[in-house]
A and B are shown apart, each in its own frame.
Chain A
Amino acid sequence: MALPFKPRYCCDTPRARTSAILAYTLRRTLILIVSLFVAAVVLFVLLRLLPGDPANALLGVGATPQQIEAARAQVGSDQPLHVQFGTFIGNLARLDLGTSFVSRASVLEEIGNRMSVTLPLTALGFLIAITLAVPLGMLSAIRADRWYGAAISVISQLGIAIPVFWVGILLVTLFAINLRWLPSGGFPLRGWSNFGEAAIGMVLPALTIGLVMGASLLRYVRAATLDVLGSDYLRTARALGAGFTEALVRHGLRNGAVPVISILGIELATTFLGAVVIERVFSLPGLGSMLLLAIQQRDYPNVQGVLFVSTLLVLIIGFAADLAQRLIDPRLRGRTRVEA
């Protein structure tokens, strides 16, 4: 009994599949560049909307008109807006983020230094979150009818409700003040060259991020697992002879991973941005504290630089999450279109 027609699809061969993924990556990269340009425009407009002239930041209260004119020429704010914008975009394209008004140091270099705190902090927090959320989320779904399944679910709900700075303060009170196991904050001046002290300084902040982020991630893992548990293909696998664990591993992990990965991208971006608060609580010299300081000092180049680099990182994380999803899900793989 042969079929009257033979269907052909764009992704029948591995080669066609690879080219579909490449085409998608290319389109997605273009979108990344356009988004970055839009972000740069928004950044430029927002900073110009702020009252006062950037030049004022350089001067004291009693500056003479001549001094103000000189300062405006120095920072370029005496030029017409479109010229300023052209210079701004041109500098960004060359990754020239300018020099700080206050320290006269290169903004890019300063961001690089601060990143050596923020990136490991985010990565470590993220790792802790995944390590907690994936097994516990699955367990709370599989054992939803037992007391510990329900308990995990309730605790994770609490974790979402509690603000991140409060978890930080709680951990400091417990581990730094009461138990005296870990420092309450700070980072060695010599940075990672003093590895032991730097690593110990990272523990509590990373744990704070990990717990808070893990709580919401756990909800998603739990929901994805419940979806898989109720799925017809899992029931079918069981009916055809697979044991529960076998069926769950074979069908659950991959199917459950797809929705979780898209959330992971968002969570990672949120964590990175949320580091501002955490760095404040633990007095860490990261990107977040650089931003706060720059705003206080009206250090325009620094504010601009941090915001631009953060936007870039968030966009790249989103890009990576989208790509990972395509690689895992064969239904998306053949499509080259980028959905909004």
Chain B
Amino acid sequence: MTLISVDRVSFGYTAERRILDDVSFAMESGDTVGLVGESGSGKTTLLRLLLGLARPDSGTITFDGASLDPRNAAFMRQFRRQAQIVFQDPYSSLDPRQKISSIIAEPLRSLRIPGDHRQMVADALSSVGLDADAAGRYPHQFSGGQRQRIAIARAIVAGPRLLLADEAVSALDLTTKIRIVELLASLGTRMSLLFVSHDIGVVAALCRRIVILERSRIVESGDTAEVLARPQHPYTQRLLASVPRLSLKDTRS
């Protein structure tokens, strides 16, 4: 079943410059999709449109068959309950003056979800591998990786069907990055995951399907293993060639 369908979407912050140009792709329910492209290719803008934070200039976006309309408050509340996001910077996306319990419970309060919020927060914390007593602390008392876990806990606390991640591991060091990718992969079995990244290696490890964006357009998409094994578009080929590899040269001589 198609969860998200983006059909011929164009968007620009100003009339002169298009950030997205005639972009189309679809995502099945339960799928993990990686949206890859370099800085300025339009990834984050596409995510903003998918979240309903901006409206496309032309084209349509549908979620579960219904058109995504930011002006329809009732629909948006339903939508937000089903689609939640993790942003890139784990330092700035958490309010420094709120306790972790309050930060994680935010979607529950905003979306007026009934139930025992304290228990739901504890469950979300345990799903991301944090102790329950983290709830009583403040963001500055955690490391970058732990903060990103908190951001993920906040995104999954309302039980969404779709998790969007905007460069969610880019700000982390390598070992922390691997742990967070593992965490996202385990969550990917429970919900659909749309992972936006410039890091093709992370996408290869995490996503079944890949969509490659270059300068406002989608240049290639398909099964991740296939695309990476036989890249058709020159940009994809360049992208693959530019992945840094660890080469251990003998420098002793």
B234 within 8 A of A: no
- Measured in the bound complex, the distance between the Cα atoms of B150 and A233 in whole Å is 13
The segment from B32-40, B129-137, B193-201, B210-218 found at the interface with A is: B129-137
Residue contacts A-B, CB under 8 angstroms, 8 given: A233-B93, A233-B96, A237-B106, A240-B84, A242-B110, A250-B106, A251-B98, A330-B97
Distance in Å: Cβ of B209 to nearest Cβ of chain A: 23
Given the complex, which residues of B lie within 8 Å of A238, measured CB to CB? Answer: 53
Given the complex, which residues of B lie within 8 Å of A254, measured CB to CB? Answer: 97-98
Given the complex, which residues of A lie within 8 Å of B87, measured CB to CB? Answer: 232, 235-236, 239
Check if B146 sits within 8 Å of A3, measured CB to CB: yes
A 254-270 contacts with B by CB, 8 A: 254-255, 258
Check if A240 sits within 8 Å of B80, measured CB to CB: yes
A82 within 8 A of B: no
**Given contact pairs A239-B51, A240-B85, A241-B81, A330 touches B138 in the complex (Cβ within 8 A):** yes
A146 within 8 A of B: no
Given contacts A239-B51, A241-B80, A330-B96, 20 further A-B contacts (CB under 8 A): A1-B182, A3-B146, A7-B142, A9-B137, A12-B133, A12-B137, A232-B87, A232-B93, A233-B96, A240-B85, A240-B110, A240-B155, A241-B110, A243-B110, A255-B95, A330-B99, A330-B140, A331-B96, A331-B138, A331-B140
Given the complex, which residues of B lie within 8 Å of A255, measured CB to CB? Answer: 95-97
Instruction: Summarize A's interface: helix, strand, loop or mixed.
Output: helix
Check if B183 sits within 8 Å of A233, measured CB to CB: no
A329 within 8 A of B: yes
| Residue in A closest to B86 when the chains form the complex, CB atoms | A236
Given the complex, which residues of B lie within 8 Å of A96, measured CB to CB? Answer: none
Distance in Å: Cβ of A283 to nearest Cβ of chain B: 46
A104 within 8 A of B: no
Given the complex, which residues of A lie within 8 Å of B55, measured CB to CB? Answer: none
Distance in Å: Cβ of B72 to nearest Cβ of chain A: 14
| Residue in A closest to B138 when the chains form the complex, CB atoms | A330
A2 within 8 A of B: yes
A246 within 8 A of B: yes
Query: Interface of B with A (CB < 8 Å)?
Result: 51, 53, 77, 80-81, 84-85, 87, 89, 92-99, 106-107, 109-111, 128-131, 133, 136-138, 140-142, 146, 151, 154-155, 158, 179, 182-183
A 1-16 contacts with B by CB, 8 A: 1-3, 6-7, 9, 11-12
3 smallest CB-CB distances across A and B, nearest first, come from: A1-B129, A232-B92, A241-B80
Given the complex, which residues of A lie within 8 Å of B146, measured CB to CB? Answer: 3
Check if A328 sits within 8 Å of B137, measured CB to CB: no
Interface centre among A2, A239, A246 (most CB of B within 10 A): A239
Check if A1 sits within 8 Å of B95, measured CB to CB: no
Distance in Å: Cβ of A48 to nearest Cβ of chain B: 49
Distance in Å: Cβ of A227 to nearest Cβ of chain B: 11
- Measured in the bound complex, the distance between the Cα atoms of B139 and A251 in whole Å is 14
| Residue in A closest to B127 when the chains form the complex, CB atoms | A1
| Residue in A closest to B88 when the chains form the complex, CB atoms | A232
Distance in Å: Cβ of A167 to nearest Cβ of chain B: 36
A231 within 8 A of B: yes
Distance in Å: Cβ of B57 to nearest Cβ of chain A: 20
- Measured in the bound complex, the distance between the Cα atoms of B136 and A30 in whole Å is 32
Check if A3 sits within 8 Å of B129, measured CB to CB: yes
Distance in Å: Cβ of B58 to nearest Cβ of chain A: 23
Given the complex, which residues of A lie within 8 Å of B94, measured CB to CB? Answer: 233, 236
Check if B106 sits within 8 Å of A240, measured CB to CB: yes
**Given contact pairs A240-B80, A241-B80, A329-B97, A9 touches B141 in the complex (Cβ within 8 A):** yes
- Measured in the bound complex, the distance between the Cα atoms of B154 and A7 in whole Å is 21
Distance in Å: Cβ of B166 to nearest Cβ of chain A: 9
| Residue in A closest to B94 when the chains form the complex, CB atoms | A233
- Measured in the bound complex, the distance between the Cα atoms of B98 and A258 in whole Å is 13
- Measured in the bound complex, the distance between the Cα atoms of B81 and A80 in whole Å is 81
Chain A 210-253, CB within 8 Å of chain B: the 1/0 string? 00000000000000000000011101111111110011001100
| Residue in B closest to A331 when the chains form the complex, CB atoms | B140
- Measured in the bound complex, the distance between the Cα atoms of B129 and A185 in whole Å is 69
| Residue in B closest to A1 when the chains form the complex, CB atoms | B129
Interface centre among A2, A11, A240 (most CB of B within 10 A): A240
Distance in Å: Cβ of B131 to nearest Cβ of chain A: 7
Interface centre among A6, A9, A236, A330 (most CB of B within 10 A): A236
- Measured in the bound complex, the distance between the Cα atoms of B89 and A260 in whole Å is 26
Given the complex, which residues of B lie within 8 Å of A331, measured CB to CB? Answer: 96-97, 138, 140
Check if B93 sits within 8 Å of A236, measured CB to CB: yes
Given the complex, which residues of A lie within 8 Å of B89, measured CB to CB? Answer: 232
Given the complex, which residues of A lie within 8 Å of B98, measured CB to CB? Answer: 251, 254
| Residue in B closest to A237 when the chains form the complex, CB atoms | B106
- Measured in the bound complex, the distance between the Cα atoms of B125 and A2 in whole Å is 11
Distance in Å: Cβ of B149 to nearest Cβ of chain A: 9
Chain A 307-339, CB within 8 Å of chain B: the 1/0 string? 000000000000000000000111100000000
| Residue in A closest to B145 when the chains form the complex, CB atoms | A3
| Residue in B closest to A2 when the chains form the complex, CB atoms | B129
